[in-house]
A = this chain, B = another copy of it.
Amino acid sequence: MKIAVDAMGGDFAPVEIVRGSVDACREFNTEVILVGKEEEIKQELDKLSCQGLKLDIFPASEAIAMDEHPASAVKKKKDSSLVVANNLVKKGEAAAVISAGNTGAAMTASLFNLGRIEGIERPAIATPMPNKKGMGVLLDAGANADCEPENLVQFAIMGSIYAEKVFGIPNPRIGLLSIGEEETKGNKLTIEAHQLLKSTKVNFIGNIEGRDVLKGNCDVIVCDGFVGNTVLKLAEGVSSVLMEQIKEAIKGNPIALLAGMMLKGSLSKIKAKLDYTEYGGAPLLGLNGVSMISHGSSNAKAIKNAIRATIKAINEDIVGKIKEAVN
């Protein structure tokens, strides 16, 4: 099984991408094709001990920047690391593609090269969402800003398969993110989706609210991509502001400063629990192939963990299982 990694995508590319890939090859005994500017990749590889690892370089002369317009960048830069990596999957030379680059471009390139599974109207980004009790999945995290109720139903089906097969959660509980627990509460989209979800085979537990997102009372959180993206960014923002405030409060007080030093280990543990690098990438579910999107600021650890999730998605035949479920 070969995994094509976009070596030029991400805030810390190619350094961290190459490092994470090398770590993954060593740890999971997998094969990685690093796609990108050969010289730069080689330069990084030379600094690491890669003997015996199944690592290839596939050259691509261009890179898509984080702020480029997704569709036009993918169209124009045919020899970009992202497009070439997706092409390798299309041609069957790789089993999956991973990119920490421009999310919109990664979606566009995968949608264009791998295509949708028949019956899936809208592929969705399923992002790992740590909660108090463990691990969950939230989808859509931003692929579809406007959704129909039927889209949310397909997100629920795909998210359920992913949570079960990749995170090992048996019979995942599906929660519909709304603004009230009752089925009559919500906007038009969630009220209709609620009714449709009741008649599916997924383990639908009903509506959840914003305050439940981190509680872990469900395993898969279903919402449209606008709400999902807002939830992710807000959760990130609130944690970082709180942590900042704690640090500031500690600074202003010598006793608290001492206490803060004593607490450092405990605070780090909490930070780690909510740290995206622990969980790696978010798959674009609903495509005819495995495409994993990693956080733009991915470090080596995030890339390694994204490769781990990718291996699992391939081994568990997530694509095949989604096909079966919707057809």
Chain A interfacial positions (CB closer than 8 Å to B): 132, 142, 145-146, 177-179, 186-188, 190, 209-215, 224-227, 229-242, 244-246, 249-250, 252-253, 255-256, 258-263, 265-267, 269-270, 273
A228 CB to closest chain B CB (Å) equals 9
**Once the chains bind, are B177 and A230 in contact (CB under 8 Å)?**
yes
- Chain A contact residues: helix, strand, loop or mixed: helix
| Contacts known (A249-B267, A256-B266, A258-B262); A179 close to B226, Cβ less than 8 A | yes
With A210-B234, A230-B209 known as contacts, the answer to whether A256 contacts B263 (CB < 8 A) is yes
Q: Is the CB of A266 within 8 A of B246?
A: yes
Min C-beta distance of A316 to chain B, whole Å: 30
Q: How far is the CB of A72 from chain B (nearest CB, A)?
A: 12
A210 lies within 8 A of B226 (CB): no
A230→B175 CA distance, assembly (Å): 14
* Residue from B179, B237, B270 in contact with A212 in the complex, judged by beta carbons closer than 8 Å: B237
Give the distance in Å from the alpha carbon of A238 to the alpha carbon of B270 in the complex.
Answer: 12
Query: Once the chains are docked, how many angstroms separate the CA of A256 from the CA of B270?
Result: 13
Known A177-B230, A187-B224; further 13 A-B contacts with Cβ < 8 A: A145-B186, A210-B231, A210-B237, A211-B234, A211-B237, A226-B227, A227-B230, A230-B231, A242-B270, A252-B266, A253-B265, A255-B262, A263-B263
Please tell me which one of the listed residues B187, B225, B249, B266 contacts residue A270 in the complex, with CB atoms under 8 A apart.
Answer: B249
* A252 to B: closest C-beta gap in Å: 8
